[in-house]
Amino acid sequence: MRNSLKALRAERGWSQADLAERLGVSRQTVNAIETGRYDPSLPLAFVIARVMGLSIEAIFSEDGDD
């Protein structure tokens, strides 16, 4: 799964630690999601979407989707 979390976070001027605090996860979890080493659970994906003010589909896409 690909995601645009790093770019969206940067647009808001948030560090990984800032985003992690908003999501209730560790900075390491944010890093792992951004680098594609970890796909978030559906509940966490909903939290990410809510915090970013976007739909899940606007943040995450399947590999191979353009």
Give the per-residue pLDDT at 55. Answer: 97
What would the CATH number be for the domain defined by 2-60? Answer: 1.10.260.40
CA distance 35 to 9: 13
Give the per-residue pLDDT at 36. Answer: 94
As to burial, measured by CB atoms within 10 angstroms (0-12 exposed, 13-18 middle, 19+ buried), residue 64 is exposed
The pLDDT averaged over each successive group of 10 residues in the chain (66 residues) is: 96 98 98 97 98 97 70
* Residue ranges per structural domain of the chain: 2-60
Give the per-residue pLDDT at 63. Answer: 77
Max CA pair span of the chain: 31
